[in-house]
Amino acid sequence: MSRRFEDRQQAGTLLAKKLSGFEGRSDVIVIGLPRGGVPVAYEVAQALDLPLDVLIVRKLGAPGHVEFAIGSLASGGICIVDENLVRSLGVSHEELSEIIEREKAELERRERLYRGGRPPIEVVGKTVIIVDDGLATGSTMRAAVEAIKKMGSKAIVVAVPVCAPSACAELERDVDIWCVCVYAPEAFYAVGLWYDKFDQTSDEEVELLLAKADAGGVSALHYI
């Protein structure tokens, strides 16, 4: 555990260095996954002089164990369910439907809040860098990838400061995906363990960063 990030801002700065080959390209867009992925994505977009947008993704947590993902949702009507996990945990059809409806409502709330009057994401023919603050199981990231594919992207780069090697390997089984990370420790455990400061990102922070990116960007030092 000797290599840790101070916070999401430093993590984004270090991640941007791994992505320097994309700097200033007109065919590339950075997509942050709210909430925690947006501060990281903001730093990447600013460092590489690329546009920033968001894609809403929601984890489908198991009944009584909300942190344990049995699937995920993403903007654009994407719903991924791990049927094997659902069966092994004994999750009923009614329970699963309730979880999906609840998370769908939250996804739609955040979509309205974060997008406001901003137009839909336009990724047709573009290389999309999808950024989160870390990758554990890869469940929500897979939903994001499927959504971006559905929108007509040319290529997808999954970019995270820290990831479980198995999650990255699983994503890269898709030949159209390239996974980039700063650290990929074998003893991964959890994303938050790789940050000194890992406070929950608020809706207000996400809105502020998106507004600043739209306005041309302001140094991250001014929004903490």
φ/ψ of residue 77, rounded to 5: 80, 20
What percent of the chain lies above the pLDDT cut of 90?
69
Whether the pLDDT of residue 219 is over 90: the answer is no
Q: For residue 3, what pLDDT band results from cuts at 50, 70 and 90?
A: confident
Q: Pick the residue with more confidence: 23 or 75?
A: 23
Residues 67-95 pLDDT 10s: 788 999 998 888 999 999 999 999 999 99
pLDDT for the residue 221? 30
pLDDT for the residue 223? 28
Kindly give the residue spans of alpha helices, DSSP state H, lying in the chain: 8-18, 37-48, 83-88, 93-115, 139-150, 165-171, 203-214
pLDDT for the residue 193? 93
> By the 8 A CB rule, do 124 and 148 touch?
no
Task: Report pTM.
Answer: 0.88
pLDDT for the residue 98? 95
pLDDT for the residue 14? 97
Q: Pick the residue with more confidence: 135 or 219?
A: 135
Q: How far apart are CA 44 and CA 47, in angstroms?
A: 5
pLDDT for the residue 29? 96
pLDDT for the residue 160? 97
> E strand or H helix at 190, and its extent?
none
